[in-house]
Structure formats: C-alpha cells, structure tokens
Structure 1
C-alpha cells in the first residue's frame, strides 16, 4: 500500500484580527444590516410539526407506582426477546 502524503501543517493559533474585521465603511455596513432586517421572514410549515405526543398519563403513573413498590414484573426472557427483535428489525432495513 502506498504511503499517504500529508502537506505541511501549521500550528493552531488565534484568528488574525485583520481577517475578522468587516470590510467597507460604517455607513455601508449599517445599510446592509438594514436591508437584512427588512427582508421577509420565513414561516415554518405546519406539515413538519409533530404535534403532541400521545402519552397515557394514567398508565405511566401506574407503572411508576409499580416500580417504586417493587411489584413491576421484570421478565428477562421477554426483555431478551424484545432486544433480539429490535436488532433484527434494524438489520433488515439496511439491506
């Protein structure tokens, strides 16, 4: 395999102030800023709005209470089956 050639590198340093300064006079800069603020705004489409999340708050409260009391059933085989199924679903869509 041929070697990879890397060009010269320079050390990282602070930004040179002359590059950071805006060009033009103060009046030109003010004019360009005023033109920018007069431009129309972009309205977001409601089609991209996900809306509210459908959450059954009663069920969530019931599960939280069961976890706090230690009565929530944890079945390792069901957890393992769900993890395997999720992995199979993720792999099947990448083909």
Structure 2
C-alpha cells in the first residue's frame, strides 16, 4: 500500500452562521472567523516518506535508445497486461 502523505493544514475562512429566533421566526446571520493560529499543526514522521524509487538509469537509457532505433519490440497488448497486473498488485492487501 502506498504511503499516505499529509500536507499542511488549509486556512479556514469566515463561516456564516444562520440562526432562527424561536419567538419571531426571523433569520439572524452572523459571521465568525477562525484565526490561522488556531489551526491544528500536523507533523509527518519519516516512516511515511517513501524515499527514492529504485530505478536503474542505465537500463532505462538502453531501452530508450533501442526504442528510438527500432530494435525494441513494443507490443501494446503486453504493455496493457503489465499495467493491469501492476494495478491489481497495488490494490490487493498485503
């Protein structure tokens, strides 16, 4: 399962509150705002950071060169099958 990334909290703007007076039935509108300092602070640990992906740059360069020269067989059905299989692996519980 990929790590869940938690970003900074979003600022909260003004909130419009409508109340109905029980005696008169009139709607009263008030605006309130939450100061940015009241927003909760969120910290992330190093455990949720994914780090660098394991990529073999030399192998990627070799494959790209072979594709450019027309020596690498690009078979769309095999590519599609591999993408579907990778998606299924990512969704399955481990």
Report the TM-score, using the length of structure 2 for normalisation.
Answer: 0.44
Q: Is the helix fraction higher in 1 or 2?
A: 1
Report the TM-score, using the length of structure 1 for normalisation.
Answer: 0.44
Q: Is the strand fraction higher in 1 or 2?
A: 2
Which structure's CA Rg is the greater one? 1
User: Which structure is richer in relative contact order (CA contacts within 8 A, separation 6 or more)?
Assistant: 2
